[in-house]
Amino acid sequence: MCTYLQMGNLKMLIDPGVALGPTRYGLGPTEAEFEALEYSRALIMEVAKEGEFVVVTHYHYDHHPFPDDSEMYERCFGGKVAFAKDRKNNINLSGKQRGRIFEENASPLLKKLEWADGEECEVRGVKLSFSPAVWHGDVGSRVGTVVMVCAEAGGESFLFGSDAQSL
């Protein structure tokens, strides 16, 4: 779920991606779902203009753009600093492959790419703390791991648990 965070002087987009769910009971997406997909994609790209920082918690396509969506990559990552899940460590094979593709697409557009797992930093007076890799849902899940991000400033905090269900 893409989230825009404004805290103090920090403006940051978290997980700028949108995708349709898998086929359910042999049924494909409805027209309303396709419309919601296009609406959400356009909204994410519009909001992306506001922030200078981006977080990618893992490499599922509902959390970052599809590889062939150069417009969304440019709008969400162009000229920004990104904090992303380490694509080489504590990640399954599929995540490694998608992470490599993400890095190839995003790096030329970014000011800087930082692997975030277990890291802390201060950005515009806001402390950002990234979890080590945690399971995407249940421990040992086949779908891999994610990083969570916590932003703290002025006695307030915000935790984005990604698909870890905030565990």
| pLDDT at 97 (0 to 100) | 97
Which distant-in-sequence residues (6+ apart) come within 8 Å of 161 by Cβ? 148, 167
Task: Give the start-to-end residue ranges of the domains of the chain.
Answer: 3-164
pLDDT tens for each residue of 115-161: 999 999 999 999 999 999 998 888 888 888 999 999 999 999 999 99
In CATH, the number for domain 3-164 is: 3.60.15.10
Q: Give the Cα separation of 130 and 136 in Å (integer).
A: 15
Tokens of 27: 């049924």
- Percent of the chain exceeding pLDDT 90 equals 84
Tokens of 106: 């995003």
**DSSP letter at 53?**
E
| pLDDT at 167 (0 to 100) | 53
Report helix, strand or coil for 88: coil
Report helix, strand or coil for 147: coil
Q: What does pTM read for this prediction?
A: 0.94
Q: Evaluate the CA torsion angle 68, 69, 71, 72 in order and state its sign.
A: negative
